[in-house]
Amino acid sequence: MNGARICIFTMKGDSRGNLVAIEGNIDLDFQISRVFYIFNSSPQIIRGKHANRRSKICFIAVAGTCRIVVDNGKEREEFLMDTPSKGLLCDSMTWKEMKDFSSDCVLLGISDLPYDEGEYITDYDAFLQEINHG
């Protein structure tokens, strides 16, 4: 789908455990500027419900599971986030909704830009208007 794609990160492991390393401009197609995570969300809660005008974000369920619905203004797709070696890279101007959090879910977000409240579109109809008519 245009606007979002799955990334599989290299996982290394031995008898001591597993490790995934993510480097900006190597494992992701951008320099990392911000890292955040969501946790203690109940399965009934829907997080996100917004698009970012400029920033890209990669989501990784580092623990537990959740689902992410993405929408590019023409099509919607739902992704199950269920392993810490899989990321969902969302381009700018992609609507995102995170839901169905397991009780142990920790959803990591890695962004190419610092937080800027002004780049968020939180009304779906306004998102459709902006993406379809500029």
Catalytic residues: 50
- Nearest by Cα to 109 from 54, 57, 52: 57
Q: How many CB atoms lie under 10 A from the CB of residue 33? A: 13
Greatest CA separation for the chain: 54
Rg, C-alpha atoms of the chain: 15
